[in-house]
Amino acid sequence: MSKGILVGADASYERLLPWWHSHVKKHNDTPIAILDFGMSPWGLAQAKKIGTIIDATSSPSFKVKCKALADQRIANACLKRIKHMKRSPFDTTLWLDLDCMVRCNVEPLFAYADHPSGFAAAFNYNIKKYGLNGGVHVVKKKSYIYDLWIQAAKNRANDFDYDDNVLAEALKDPIGQMPIEYNIDRPDAKIRHLMGESGKKTLFSDPNYRHQFFELFEEECSDDFGIVLRADEETEPFIDWWMANYRMYNNFPVSINKNKFLNSLELTPCHIVQGHLSPSTEIWDYMDREIVYPSVKIIHYSGKEGRLALIREIMIGSMIHTSSLAPLPPQLNRLFPGYI
């Protein structure tokens, strides 16, 4: 009987994959499969290093129509996820959300799927309505729970209440119960699930997330798309560091202060790139590093506080990757006297 880990990602959340895997591989050599919900070429390149990729871009034949558009998006996304989770290549599957920090050997978890339902999860009554969180669960191929989950979501189309709550309401028979330490946001957790805004702030403070250096991403470049980097006397010392960071994710050409492309994205060294770009990539302004949206691919550090955040970013990156990233610019103190 095969056992393995299943995870899923799209272009918005693919940046979590290397961070997620850096923790999993410390304690496990369990086979991994990744559901591709629509990753970019960069995301697919990272996923190929981790495990088997399963195309999960197709939507289910069934959809729900909810009263609220936001509920409808969530409901159909949940249905799509559950449909493709059923395609796991393993007889017994451990599903993990991408915001789970694995700090243990997961082998003992597979035994919890031996429950008559073929499904087990942890209960934490401090979260959501019923305390059931499916971000970490184990399931057997023969389990009926996924079918029950899909049907329950359809039945609740006009009053959708998140996938975990919908499943909890639909359960008529018991399911297996995993110990809470395998799915909780707590420092001593075996699997620390960094849920919600506070959890994401913890995640983004992990150096393995923001500054895990990858091999340069090579992709065939479009002839008409490139990055125009606008630099001045103050930001010029950051260019080398910015380029090293940019090349983690993109191979599109960069032009300094000149637009040579039919389609371009204009950035400055204060725009930190953390994802695969396109002409329509949205830019977010932040004053610090506590970004709570994994889908953000360009962060613009603006104002005095933003410049301080940029300096901290460069210092951390340089300390962690002294052999890979450009060294800390010596002009920092001259450019921003009294900041450091």
User: How far apart (Å, rounded) are the C-alpha atoms in residues 52 and 21?
Assistant: 13
Give percent of the chain above pLDDT 70. Answer: 79
Residue 184 is classified by DSSP as B
Considering the domain architecture, whether residues 22 and 152 belong to the same structural domain is answered as yes
Structure tokens belonging to residue 294: 């994994």
Weakest-pLDDT range from 50-54, 88-92, 158-162, 291-295? 291-295
Considering the domain architecture, whether residues 286 and 169 belong to the same structural domain is answered as no
pLDDT value at position 334?
A: 43
Q: How many domains does the chain have?
A: 2
Considering the domain architecture, whether residues 156 and 231 belong to the same structural domain is answered as no
Is position 159 within any domain?
A: yes
User: How far apart (Å, rounded) are the C-alpha atoms in residues 62 and 157?
Assistant: 11
The pLDDT of residue 73 is above 80: no
Considering the domain architecture, whether residues 268 and 329 belong to the same structural domain is answered as yes
User: How far apart (Å, rounded) are the C-alpha atoms in residues 234 and 286?
Assistant: 19
Query: What's the mean pLDDT when you consider all of the chain?
Result: 81
The pLDDT of residue 94 is above 90: yes
Encode pLDDT of 123-143 as tens digits.
Answer: 877 766 778 888 999 999 999
pLDDT value at position 100?
A: 95
* Domain with 232 in it: 225-335
Considering the domain architecture, whether residues 124 and 24 belong to the same structural domain is answered as yes
Q: What is the CATH number of the domain that holds 8?
A: 3.90.550.10
Q: Which element (helix H / strand E) includes 8?
A: strand 3-9
Considering the domain architecture, whether residues 244 and 164 belong to the same structural domain is answered as no
